[in-house]
Structure 1
Amino acid sequence: MLERCVDGGVLLTPGGASGRDYESFIRLCFTSVEPGALDDALQRLRTVLGR
């Protein structure tokens, strides 16, 4: 899934980077984006996930 996200223009971090307890998670940082950029990112993520 990470590769599909990168190909779709959405960068994610594997949850394992935050510790062993989070290996089955992914992280999406959205704390410092311009207005509207989060909507664009979520649309890209929907496209990647086929939803």
Structure 2
Amino acid sequence: MKQQLSTASSYSEACDMLRSGYVKHVRLNWNIGSDEFFRIASGLVRNRGKNKKR
């Protein structure tokens, strides 16, 4: 089954989608800056690390 791609139009929308746990892939539909990119990436690594410990 192919998973549907979700599209976020802002940083907060992308974070909300990824934190929900229902979406694995999010298309970033804005000119993302390096700070936003690294905040999203580091947040994903942090959250996945916590999930592995459970």
Fold match, TM over 0.5?
no
TM-score class, shorter-chain normalisation, is 0.3 to 0.5
Using CA pairs under 8 Å that are at least 6 residues apart, name the structure with larger relative contact order, 1 or 2: 1
- Would you tell me which structure has more helix in proportion to its own residues? 2
